[in-house]
């Protein structure tokens, strides 16, 4: 396993394989024991201040952050923006990355229900 950045807990996300459950293609309203809403949805991610972005797959979301699968690694603590259905562009930072999974800590708390129910 290749590590990119530090392994940290952000919004209840540790990025460990045993914490992640595969879900179907429809958004799922299940909540895990750490208060994260488990989802499977696509979003756009870009480095802060850049117009171009790329598609990512969001796996879980909480008020403080999310876990997504990225097509390529990003440097730890990179400032990013992610476009989430129902919320638009949300600013955050790469908190951790292991292989293709990354935790993004939001700069400000969000309401996960706005994404789940959108």
Written as six digits, the tokens of 101 are 């999974």
Whether this prediction's pTM lies above 0.85 is answered by no
- pLDDT for the residue numbered 16: 38
Domain map (residue ranges) of the chain: 3-116
Helix (H) / strand (E) element for 105: namely: strand 101-106
Q: Which residue has the tokens 């562009």?
A: 89
DSSP string, 17-36: GGG-----SS----B-TTSP
Tell which CATH classification among 2.40.10.220, 3.40.50.10140, 3.30.540.10, 3.20.20.70 matches the domain 3-116.
2.40.10.220
| 14 vs 113: CA distance, rounded Å | 21
Indicate whether 56 pLDDT > 60. yes
Indicate whether 12 pLDDT > 60. no
Indicate whether 18 pLDDT > 80. no
| 70 vs 108: CA distance, rounded Å | 22
In tens, the pLDDT along 63-116 reads: 999 999 999 999 999 999 999 999 999 999 999 999 999 999 999 999 998 887
- pLDDT for the residue numbered 40: 82
Average pLDDT, the chain: 77
């Amino acid at each position: 396993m290749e590590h990119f950045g530090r392994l940290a807990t952000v919004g209840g996300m540790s990025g460990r394989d045993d914490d992640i459950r595969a879900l179907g293609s429809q958004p799922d309203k299940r909540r895990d024991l750490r208060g994260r809403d488990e989802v499977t949805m696509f979003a756009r991610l870009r480095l802060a201040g850049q117009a171009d972005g790329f598609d990512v797959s969001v796996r879980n979301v909480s008020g403080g952050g999310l876990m997504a699968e990225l097509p390529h690694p990003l440097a730890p603590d990179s400032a990013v923006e992610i476009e989430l259905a129902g919320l638009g562009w949300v600013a955050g930072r790469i908190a951790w990355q292991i292989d293709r999974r990354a935790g993004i800590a939001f700069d400000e708390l969000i309401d996960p229900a706005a994404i789940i129910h959108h």
